[in-house]
Each structure stands twice: as structure tokens, then as C-alpha cells.
């Protein structure tokens, strides 16, 4: 039918924008993605595991912001 959502378009972008900002801020530690919600413990874990190299943090990320949301 080619139907597209319009009314929620701005709302949908907000969460990935925030998460992308968090990921960008943590890029220097090698963090490539953060699962929502970005709680303090999640951020700490992301930094810890990225800096010990135990996550998939090495190499360029192929994830889109939509996948990081899932």
C-alpha cells in the first residue's frame, strides 16, 4: 500500500539520537554500541569491557543506530 508513518517521525528519532550521542562520547574508549537503557551500570560495563578488549569493540562498527536500539 505504500503507507508510511508521519506523525511519529520526530519521536522515533529521539531515542537513537541520544544513544548515538552516548556512543559517540564513549568512542575514545573503543565503545561501538550501547544497549538501551543507557543506565550508569551499562555505561560502566561498556567502558570496562571495551578497554579490556573483551567485547566486539575492535574494528569499525557495521551497526546502524537502529540495531543499537534493539
Residues found near another protein in the complex (CB under 8 A): 39-41, 44-45
Query: How near is the Cβ of 20 to another protein at its closest, in Å?
Result: 22
Query: How near is the Cβ of 42 to another protein at its closest, in Å?
Result: 10
Q: Which is closer to another protein, CB of 39 or CB of 58?
A: 39
Q: Which is closer to another protein, CB of 25 or CB of 44?
A: 44
The full DSSP string for 5-64 is --TTHHHHHHHHHHHHHHHHHTGGGT----PSS--HHHHHHHHHHHHTT-STTSS-----
Amino acid at each position: 500500500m505504500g503507507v508510511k508513518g508521519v506523525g511519529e517521525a520526530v519521536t522515533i528519532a529521539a531515542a537513537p539520537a541520544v544513544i548515538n550521542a552516548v556512543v559517540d562520547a564513549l568512542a575514545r574508549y573503543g565503545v561501538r554500541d550501547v544497549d538501551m537503557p543507557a543506565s550508569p551500570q551499562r555505561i560502566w560495563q561498556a567502558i570496562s569491557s571495551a578497554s579490556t578488549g573483551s567485547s566486539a569493540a575492535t574494528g569499525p562498527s557495521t551497526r546502524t543506530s537502529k540495531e543499537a536500539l534493539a
